[in-house]
Amino acid sequence: MSLCDTPGFMVGPDAERTATVRHFSRLFVTGANLSVPVVALILRKAHGLGAMAMLGGSTHAPATAAWPSGELGAMGLEGAVRLGYRKELAAIADPGERDREYERLLAELYDRGKAVNAAAAPEVDDVIDPADSRRWITAALDDRHTEPIPAGPKRRPFIDTW
Does residue 95 belong to any structural domain of this protein? no
Identify the domain containing residue 134 by its residue range. 2-75+116-143
Q: Say if residue 72's pLDDT is above 60.
A: yes
Does 122 fall in a domain? yes
Q: Is residue 105 part of a domain?
A: no
Tens of pLDDT, residue by residue over 24-51, are 777 777 777 777 778 889 999 888 878 8
The strand pairing partners of 41, in sequence order, are 3, 65
Taking 3-state DSSP, the helix, strand and coil percentages for the chain, each rounded to the nearest 5, stand at 50, 15, 40
Q: Which residues contact 108 (CB under 8 A, 6 or more apart)?
A: none
